[in-house]
Amino acid sequence: MKTLKANPYYAAGIAAFVIWGFIPFPLKALADYPSGLILYFRIALSVILLVVISLLFRRDTIQKTYHALLSSGGSVKRQFILYTLLGGMLLTTNWLTFIYVINHIDIQTGSFSYLLCPILTAVLGFLLLKEELRPNQWFAIGLSILSCILIGTGELTSLLFSLMIALSYAFYLITQRILRAYDKIVLLTLQLLLAFILIGPFYTFFKGDSTVVLDGNFFLNVSILSALFTVLPLFLNLYALKELTSGAIGILMYINPIMNFVIAFVYFDEETTLVKVLAYVLIFISVIIYNIRFKKHRKNANGMPVPPASAGTLLK
């Protein structure tokens, strides 16, 4: 029964990352437009969608978040404001860099960054939040460093952009862990709203010297990017988290960069080098090693090993 119960949540989680796996298509369709302009309207339209959804369907959650914050101490309020604002800026940086990389460097670089991101998040969690790491996770971190060295020896620019994408999102995830007591949709809406308030007056800066006309094709693709590739997978991901563990979601998230790699080679005819292939294989192996959990056998009062729980019990 538990296995059946979990199926819709697994389906939602898989669907979210499969959708994100296809994100190169709307971004490539916007390749003729400045990256800053794509970011500007992606944030604007995402904020509008999230505010409408929140006001129509999530008023109770907004009120609960507001009252919880109102009843908290001054230091908690300051922490909420600081990390909400910081989260918005980090997400904005991440989106802008990713858009630029996909359209002006290659899809492989963007994909590599999201394979690297979970391990960087673990390192930051260890350094900033004092989270413990298992020996196999340290080994995986070592492999990922070797992978970065291989990429850096061949294409330093690609490595630096991959690190910028991965670090901005890793730091963003750290801010979300600090604010984990609050509703994620409420947080994202506030983060993007604050981000747009800050970048809103700088439209001419984001447009740059471009003379390209913002026609129906532009707004159609940006709308698809905002609704189908931002808001929808976010809701699916949050629905999946209601039943699945963050560890299960962490495994599913690798669907995204793997699909990006396949699309890069099969559809967009991108080329690669032997060094890059070796680096990607190493980072993929490190991801597998990082997620391995070695279970210790429990013993009863007589010193006899206790049999493990059934698969149905473990799937929650």
Distance CA 295, CA 314 (A): 13
* Lowest mean pLDDT across 56-60, 144-148, 296-300: 296-300
- The model carries a pTM of 0.85
| C-beta of residue 153 within 8 angstroms of C-beta of residue 276 | no
| C-beta of residue 179 within 8 angstroms of C-beta of residue 94 | no
Give the length of the chain: 316
- Pick the more confident residue, 211 or 51: 51
Q: What is the per-residue pLDDT for 311? A: 30
Residue 313, pLDDT > 60, answer no
Q: What is the per-residue pLDDT for 233? A: 92
Helix axes 184-199, 35-57, angle to 10 degrees: 140
Q: What is the per-residue pLDDT for 73? A: 83
Q: Each residue of 216-241: pLDDT tens digit?
A: 999 999 999 999 999 999 889 888 87
Helix axes 184-199, 232-241, angle to 10 degrees: 150
- Pick the more confident residue, 243 or 127: 127
Q: What is the mean pLDDT of the chain?
A: 85
**Which DSSP letter does residue 244 get?**
S
Distance CA 313, CA 6 (A): 12
